[in-house]
Structure 1
Amino acid sequence: MQRGVVRRRVVVRGVVQGVGFRWWCAQEADRTGVAGWVRNRLDGAVEVVVEGEQTQVDAMLAHLADGPRHARVTGVDVVAEPSQGLTAFEVEP
């Protein structure tokens, strides 16, 4: 685990697939300076892993709670995990 780096696994629920959520998420990750990944889940939710400094991760979590313009976020579940030293943000299929 890197010192000062935190990791959060997030499940975002609502109208979050088919609205550009994953690509928007990658843009927001770039703006906030976090690493990680995003992918659609079979249950209709979007799963996101975010790593970075606490303030960066907090900013990204706030963005995820709002979502992009065409999304309707109804719930966000956040779980803390040990950081894994990720250095980039990836959009998974």
Structure 2
Amino acid sequence: MPVTARHLIIQGRVQGVFYRNWAVALARDLSLSGWVRNRRDASVEMWVEGAAEAIEQFIAQAHEGPPAARVLRVIAQPVETEGFVGFEKRPTA
């Protein structure tokens, strides 16, 4: 199964609502690899790699996020894979 990757920016009320922890759990459930981090502009940034179908499921659910989140926009750009293993939470950038 070919591996693809997407770079995501999630905008809205997505910090301080456990969005990153939710993203880590979902990515692991979908067998995706990559990372998630808060950005200083109050958005959340992610890099996800894995099966295209799993990435599409992840992006669809990213529009909702955890219960306390209020997602306004999800920007998803195709990127080259980097071979991440596992999915981790990274420091704010």
| Coarse TM-score class (shorter-chain normalised) | over 0.9
Which among 40, 44, 59 is matched to residue 46 of structure 1?
44
The answer to whether the aligner puts 1:59 opposite 2:64 as a matched pair is: no
Task: Give the CA RMSD over aligned residues.
Answer: 0.9
The answer to whether the aligner puts 1:18 opposite 2:12 as a matched pair is: no
User: Which structure 1 segments of 5+ residues have no match?
Assistant: none
User: Which structure 2 segments of 5+ residues have no match?
Assistant: none
Q: Match for 2:4: what amino acid? A: V
Normalised TM-score (structure 2): 0.94
1:29 paired residue number: 27
Structure 1 runs of 4+ aligned residues shifted over 2 Å read none
Question: Would you say how many aligned residue pairs link Structure 1 and Structure 2?
Answer: 91
Normalised TM-score (structure 1): 0.94
> CA offset at residue 38 of structure 1?
0.2
